[in-house]
Amino acid sequence: MTINRQFIIERIPSGPLTADCFRIEHAEMPVPQEGEVLLKARYMSIDAASRAWMQGATYRDALGTESIMAGRAVAEVVESRHPDFQPGDLAFAEFGWQEYAALPATALRKQPNQQPLSHLLSVYGVSGLTAYFGLLEVAQAKAGDTVVISAAAGSVGHFAGQIARLLGCRVVGIAGSKAKCDWLTGELGFDAVINYKTGGLAEQLKTACPDGIDVYFDNVGGATLEVVLAQMNLHGRIACCGAVSSYDSGQPEHGPRGVPFLLVVNRLIMRGFIVSDFFAQMDQAQAQLHAWVEQGGIKVAEDILDGFESLPAALIGLLNGENRGKRMVKIA
Amino acid sequence: MTINRQFIIERIPSGPLTADCFRIEHAEMPVPQEGEVLLKARYMSIDAASRAWMQGATYRDALGTESIMAGRAVAEVVESRHPDFQPGDLAFAEFGWQEYAALPATALRKQPNQQPLSHLLSVYGVSGLTAYFGLLEVAQAKAGDTVVISAAAGSVGHFAGQIARLLGCRVVGIAGSKAKCDWLTGELGFDAVINYKTGGLAEQLKTACPDGIDVYFDNVGGATLEVVLAQMNLHGRIACCGAVSSYDSGQPEHGPRGVPFLLVVNRLIMRGFIVSDFFAQMDQAQAQLHAWVEQGGIKVAEDILDGFESLPAALIGLLNGENRGKRMVKIA
């Protein structure tokens, strides 16, 4: 009998996530019911937000102990009891940290069988689309804008920076190591970079953005947001994509000074979003991303770990900022 | 020789504003130059924001010591050296706390000679227009929305609440005394009110807004914003109009917890604005406000103090929340 390995949440961390928050269980293979599809995971997306889901309810229910850890995957159909899917088809799904799942066909988004498969989770997946919609729809970035991006070497950030360049913006990245910064300017065409770990963020930002900041693509929140906020130009836009600075802890921190006063003074817009808000425009966005990748305008950086067992370490490492580009785990 | 009395800023307060921050000086009457107009102040608007101008540069230069205290007025032309203005004409201007001013005609906005004159500073002036644009343009309030308004009995708030009602919203006001709360429900048609001074704001808000909050018209910022933010519905809008909770002090306070995390989770928009952003739509807005006032849909509450000498006390009292409706000082 085939075994379905699963990572179960054993306890909710009160501070930084550790491996002993999870345990592996050997479950029985699920059996698809009428209307369902049995899938095996191929690549599992590793996302900082999944740590936030352990803190409480967000745009989805909170993750509790004794449940399967949440995760999105590109998976392959093994057996189908729904006419829309055949064995061998690929689908994107809220899959959970397990090797197999039987899911209703209505919960799946069919994917083209393209190479490399991993691109379905990076540039054509949530990361690339989040960067695209965040810049074009939420922040309304346009040629000539100075755009600042935090977690710039991360899953979403490295795409956001390249897209902003393609739009004709001046792009300034904030990242957490010299190696990442060198990579952003050397390989990805960022105009300037800031290593926030060397301190003096406000001064570094002033040097990198002598004409102020028009758009801030915020992946981190916290103290960085506070510093950036104070340097936003009149009618600036802040796309609130994530708050990773607050995910890996138990206590919500204070908000940034200057909210709401600086918003009034400079007539700023702060807007939170998630990619599914733009579901209706997904095909158009993917087509544009395809074109940019094929023209060489976007370089796709993927940070792929191997094997089901590496899931906890992959997430813990991501929360510690060890990845460069889109992190995922190859399951099969 | 006629004397022009002026209030000069003698010192910048480090805490709450006090009367000894100002002194009266007797200046000479100004003489209009070519292209200028000599005006005498009729009604001086009293605005919380002018306290913020003493803290530092905002959307205008900071107010420094030994300068005339800033204030907007409806003033009457005494002598004109510009063809667009004749003696007896009325104009709105950044006037300063003085009885007379010689100003370039280009800095004036001509006003109709309507009765009562004070309405030019309340419902048809900055207060009414700020409420109008804040709700319709910034917050995009629509029928069925639950709208929460802070400083609801104040200059802008009491108009915002009535306009929201006219739009078909459910309107909940936050104010600082039982008398104000009774007035808002009894006279102005608010659906519910909360006296924040009795404590338990979060619980009171939950009771008053069982279906959550769609629009928050924020005049105060600070701790109230933090509480409201946590009860905003999906796709809620926050119109950031002012941050009066932070104006009358020397130290900027921490920002509200939940920024930016709750913005992402609930896909909220926070947007700061000032009325002049909507200059192009001013005539249309005033026409609508006129219609509402004439139909009895908006009751205009004015809190008018008498005499030039009362200017400092009028502003200090406003910052302490003693006014109900639009506060101004009748100068002449």
Q: What is the pLDDT along chain A (332 residues), one digit of tens a residue?
A: 689 999 999 999 989 999 999 999 999 999 999 999 999 999 999 999 999 999 887 778 889 999 999 999 999 999 999 999 999 999 999 999 999 999 999 999 999 998 999 999 999 999 999 999 999 999 999 999 999 999 999 999 999 999 999 999 999 999 999 999 999 999 999 999 999 999 999 999 999 999 999 999 999 999 999 999 999 999 999 999 999 888 887 666 789 999 999 999 999 999 999 999 999 999 999 999 999 999 999 999 999 999 999 999 999 999 999 999 999 999 99
Nearest by CB to residue A272, choosing from B221, B256, B260, is: B260
- pLDDT of B252 reads 66
The answer to whether the CB atoms of B221 and A253 lie below 8 A apart is no
Nearest by CB to residue B246, choosing from A52, A261, A270, is: A261
Length of chain A: 332
d(CA B58, CA B53): 7
* Radius of gyration for chain B, computed over Cα atoms and rounded to the nearest angstrom: 20
Query: What beta strand segments (E) does A178-272 contain?
Result: 192-195, 213-218, 232-240, 269-272
The answer to whether the CB atoms of A267 and B261 lie below 8 A apart is no
Local confidence band at B245 (pLDDT 50, 70, 90 cut-offs): confident
Query: What beta strand segments (E) does chain A contain?
Result: 3-9, 22-28, 36-45, 72-80, 90-94, 100-104, 109-111, 146-149, 170-175, 192-195, 213-218, 232-240, 269-272, 302-306, 326-330
Query: What beta strand segments (E) does A100-145 contain?
Result: 100-104, 109-111
Q: Chain A: give the shortest CA distance to residue B174, in Å.
A: 18
Residue tagged 């004070």 (tokens): B118
The answer to whether the CB atoms of A272 and B264 lie below 8 A apart is yes
- pLDDT of A61 reads 84
Q: Chain B: give the shortest CA distance to residue A99, in Å.
A: 29
Q: List CB contacts of B243: < 8 A, sequence separation 6 or more.
A: A260, A261, A264, B52, B218, B220, B221, B222
* B126 contact residues in A (CB cutoff 8 A): none
- Provide φ and ψ at A84, rounded to 5°: -75, -15
Q: Give CA angle at B308 (B305, B311), nearest 5°.
A: 65
- pLDDT of B202 reads 98
Strand partners, A77: A39
- pLDDT of B248 reads 84
| Nearest chain A residue to B56, by CA | A265
Residue tagged 């700020």 (tokens): B130
The answer to whether the CB atoms of A252 and B257 lie below 8 A apart is yes
- pLDDT of A62 reads 86
d(CA B87, CA A42): 82
- Which stretches of chain A sit within 8 Å of chain B by CB? 52, 58-59, 218, 221, 225-226, 238, 240-243, 246, 252-274, 277
Quote the crossing angle between the two packed helices A126-133 and A282-294, to the nearest 10°: 100
Q: Which domains does chain A have, with CATH numbers?
A: 3-122+302-330 (3.90.180.10), 126-276 (3.40.50.720)
d(CA B187, CA A331): 66
Nearest by CB to residue B258, choosing from A218, A255, A267, is: A255
The answer to whether the CB atoms of A263 and B246 lie below 8 A apart is no
pLDDT tens for residues B101-134? Answer: 999 999 999 999 989 999 999 999 999 999 999 9
Mutate which of A61, A259, A276, A278 to test chain B, going by most B C-beta atoms within 10 A?
A: A259
* A243 contact residues in B (CB cutoff 8 A): 260-261, 264
Of B169, B132, B176, nearest in space to B154 by CA: B176
Local structure of A277: helix, strand or coil: helix
Q: Chain A: give the shortest CA distance to residue B127, in Å.
A: 15
Q: Chain A: give the shortest CA distance to residue B84, in Å.
A: 32
pTM for the structure as a whole = 0.95
* B246 contact residues in A (CB cutoff 8 A): 261
- Reduced DSSP (H G I as helix, E B as strand, rest coil) percent helix, strand, coil of chain B, to 5: 30, 30, 40
